[in-house]
């Protein structure tokens, strides 16, 4: 591999110039990247490549770590900028032609050596192109995950029912990731509104299995640590049966069949009663009372 | 791109445990971890640093940035040349023993991070590596 | 060595933890609280941890210990102001601190210890009735 390293070193400027020229012809993305940036990145990669080649032929080895990370960084930033996966892989693959040209120039008279070196070079670049593709995919996945997160936050609003009483109606399935978001949101709102009671309504949760129950229990425990109490409402008959069958222990948890019962409980526990006023103005009927005064 | 950033500090007394917490907090803040993720990682660091000190008789903590370009995160490595952990499986089981029990707190820390690995043997010291993604 | 101040308000001990505690400081606090209860015959202990961004198993055990020791000495403890991220982390760690009473704020903590009639609450319900 030292041959390859030397060839690259000796012809660095030419290889780079041809590479950039070939790239610009194939991929016109001046809108996303300036020529200077491209120039810089190509230069960096070429240097890293040379160093890697000197260390060995297996790109999974330690000597290639900084090159891989450089590529991963370039790929990730391009993914974020909006390049397509092909465009990103082309960045590496278009290095083949100028590299092979340089190899032929130096080894043209020794066909066996030429073949071996070209083969080594192509294996190398193919491997590196795959590295970029993987990094690209990983970055897009991260983006999707983040968007999913934002969507989750939006879909579980925390509502204030009364002073110190919050309600959290959950619609849809509760998986681990969603529970995290829901939990954080709820607890933060508890602090912000100084609410001692939080009603978690699960009418809209289709199934409650052991995992979901665990998630809910974690939320309840965390709220308790902070000084707030949770009431679970909207427990449908099927869910009640499932909970008992699964042997889930809800001894320490307050539950009610529906939200209004839970609200009544929270009111009661916070020392309040709802009282019908003795004589609302309408109780005398609309014919009597203040409305009539206008006609006098 | 330069070498991944890393830093090593000694864990020789209880003040160092506080310093370790602050260092991890600093790094996590720079990398813009969410508050909850930060808290989990710093708390795990506190547990493991204390462990290195109490059980491992002192050692070191190394912080390094990982996954540059891919999924970013922080890796923490706790090393000591103490007595080692004879039964790793037991140590990972839950159950904080109050008072003067072992209370290694390893099982709990494991839940606070995304990656967790232990290398340890009696007489050979201990090396615990954990990592958390952003 | 610096100590966490323990303030006395009648029969109440008020402790506000604002620093990142090292282990010795935490043990010192445990000591101080029990000594003060004995010395002043305090009946209530209020620990404000709203400034604590990290509560690990050691600090958690300290809080549980203070609550337990105080109870033995005839005083009740309330821990107030735990931050959400801290609560979430403690639960994940596996610590639920049974036997430790908690409240959302110093106000709420006082109310828990001394009852609603003690006058610490602002009457937002009253405002609504007048509306």
CA–CA gap between residue C125 and residue A274 (Å, rounded): 12
Residue A27 is predicted with a pLDDT of 58
How close is the nearest chain A Cα to the Cα of B50, in Å? 24
Chain C within 8 Å of B99 (Cβ-Cβ)?
no
What's the fold here for domain C6-130? Transcription Regulator spoIIAA (3.30.750)
CB-based contact B49:B130 (threshold 8 Å): no
Question: What is the model's pLDDT at position A66?
Answer: 83
The whole-angstrom separation of Cα B91 and Cα A274 is 54
Distance separating alpha carbons of residues A236 and A203, to the nearest angstrom:
7
Please say whether the dihedral angle defined by the alpha carbons of residues A217, A219, A220 and A222, taken in this order, is positive or negative. Answer: positive
Choose the closest CB to A75 out of B3, B36, B69.
Answer: B69
Distance CA A48, CA A131 (A): 15
Q: What is the pLDDT at residue B112?
A: 94
- Per the CB < 8 Å rule, is A72 touching B4? no
How close, in Å, is residue A58 to chain C by CA atoms?
A: 41
Contact C76, C113 (CB under 8 A): yes
Taking the domains of chain C in order of start, what are their residue ranges? 6-130
The reported pLDDT for the residue numbered C126 is 59
Do A187 and C124 lie within an 8 Å CB cutoff?
Answer: no
Residues of chain B in Cβ contact (below 8 Å) with chain A: 1, 3-4, 36, 68-71
**What residues in chain A have per-residue pLDDT under 50?**
295-296
User: How much is the pLDDT for C131?
Assistant: 46
Residues in CB range of A137: below 8 A, 6 or more apart = A85
Backbone region of residue B28 per phi and psi (left: phi > 0; alpha: psi in -120 to 50; beta: other values): alpha
A140 to chain B: nearest residue by CA?
B70
pLDDT for A196: 95
Domains of chain B: 6-133 (3.30.565.10)
Taking only the tens place, the pLDDT of each residue in A145-172 is: 888 777 776 677 899 999 999 999 988 8
For chain B, give the mean pLDDT: 85
- Quote the CA–CA distance of B94 and A149 in Å, as a whole number: 30
Residue B102: predicted pLDDT: 44
Neighbours of B43 (CB within 10 A): 29
* Cα separations in angstroms, C76 against A202, A207, A296: 36, 41, 66
Own/partner pairs, C32-38, CB within 8 angstroms, 24+ separation? C32/C3, C32/C4, C32/C6, C33/C6, C33/C66, C33/C69, C33/C70, C34/C66, C34/C69, C34/C70, C34/C73, C36/C6, C36/C8, C37/C13, C37/C70, C37/C73, C37/C74, C37/C75, C38/C73
Per-residue pLDDT tens digits for A34-69: 777 777 888 888 888 888 887 877 778 877 888 888
Nearest to B111 by CA among B90, B132, B97: B132
* Chains contacting A (3 or more CB pairs within 8 Å): B, C
Instruction: Identify whether the C-beta of residue B64 lies closer than 8 Å to the C-beta of residue B74.
Output: yes
- The minimal CB distance from C104 to the residues A183, A221, A227 is found for A227
* Domains detected in chain A: 2-149 (1.10.490), 159-269 (3.30.750.24)
Taking an 8 Å cut-off on Cβ atoms, the answer to whether C91 and A226 are in contact is no
Of A44, A69, A142, the CB nearest to B68: A69
Residue A31 is predicted with a pLDDT of 67
The pLDDT, as a whole number, for residue C122 is 55
Give the per-residue SS3 of A40-92. HHHHHHHHHHHHHHHHCCCCCCHHHHHHHHHHHHHHHHHHHHCCCHHHHHHHH
Per-range mean pLDDT, top range of A250-264, B113-127, C61-75? C61-75
């Amino acid at each position: 591999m030292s041959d390859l390293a030397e060839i690259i070193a000796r012809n660095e400027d030419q290889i780079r110039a041809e590479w950039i020229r070939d790239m610009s012809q194939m991929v016109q993305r001046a809108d996303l990247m300036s020529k200077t940036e491209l120039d810089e990145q190509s230069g960096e990669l070429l240097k890293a490549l040379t160093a890697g080649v000197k260390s060995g032929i297996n790109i999974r080895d330690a000597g290639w770590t900084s090159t891989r990370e450089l590529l991963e960084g370039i790929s990730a930033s391009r993914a974020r900028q909006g390049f397509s996966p092909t465009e990103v892989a082309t960045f590496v693959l278009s290095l083949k032609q100028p590299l092979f040209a340089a190899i032929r120039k130096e080894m043209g008279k020794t066909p066996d050596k030429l073949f071996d070196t070209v083969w080594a070079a192509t294996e190398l670049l193919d491997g590196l192109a795959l590295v970029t593709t993987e990094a690209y995919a990983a970055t897009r996945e991260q983006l999707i995950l983040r968007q999913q997160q934002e969507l989750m936050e939006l879909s579980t609003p925390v509502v204030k029912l009364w002073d110190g009483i919050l309600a959290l109606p959950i619609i849809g399935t509760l998986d681990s990731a969603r529970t995290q978001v829901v939990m954080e949101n709820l607890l933060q709102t508890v602090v912000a509104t100084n609410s001692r009671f939080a009603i978690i309504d699960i009418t809209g949760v289709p199934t409650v299995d052991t995992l979901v129950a665990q998630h809910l229990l974690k939320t309840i425990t965390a709220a308790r640590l902070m000084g707030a109490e949770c009431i679970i409402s909207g427990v449908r008959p099927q869910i009640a049966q499932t909970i008992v069958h699964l042997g889930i222990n809800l001894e320490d948890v307050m539950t009610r069949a529906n939200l209004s019962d839970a609200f009544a409980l929270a009111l009661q526990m916070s020392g309040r009663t709802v009282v019908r006023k003795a004589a609302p103005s309408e109780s005398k009927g609309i014919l009597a009372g203040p409305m009539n005064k206008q006609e006098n | 791109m330069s070498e991944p950033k890393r830093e090593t500090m000694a864990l020789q007394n209880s003040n160092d445990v506080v310093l370790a917490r602050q260092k991890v907090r600093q790094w996590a803040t720079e990398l813009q971890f969410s508050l909850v993720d930060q808290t989990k990682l710093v708390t795990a660091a506190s547990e493991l640093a204390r462990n290195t000190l109490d059980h491992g008789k002192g050692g070191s903590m190394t912080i390094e940035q990982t996954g540059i370009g891919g999924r970013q995160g922080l890796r923490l490595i706790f090393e000591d040349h103490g007595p080692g952990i004879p039964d790793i499986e037991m140590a990972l089981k839950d159950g904080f023993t109050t008072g003067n029990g072992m209370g290694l707190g390893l099982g709990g820390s494991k839940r606070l991070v995304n990656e967790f690995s232990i290398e340890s043997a009696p007489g050979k010291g201990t090396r615990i590596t954990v990592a958390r993604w952003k | 060595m610096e100590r966490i101040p323990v303030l006395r308000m009648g029969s109440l001990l008020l402790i506000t933890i604002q620093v990142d505690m090292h282990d010795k400081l935490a043990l010192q606090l445990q000591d101080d609280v029990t000594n003060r209860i004995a010395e002043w015959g305090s009946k209530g202990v209020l620990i404000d941890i709203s400034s604590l961004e990290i509560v690990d198993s050691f600090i958690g055990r300290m809080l549980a210990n203070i609550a337990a020791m105080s109870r033995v000495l005839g005083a009740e403890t309330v821990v107030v102001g735990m931050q959400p991220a801290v609560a979430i982390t403690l639960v994940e760690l596996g610590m639920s601190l049974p036997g430790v009473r908690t409240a959302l704020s110093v106000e709420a903590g006082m109310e828990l210890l001394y009852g609603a009639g003690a006058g610490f609450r602002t009457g937002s319900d009253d405002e609504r009735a007048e509306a």
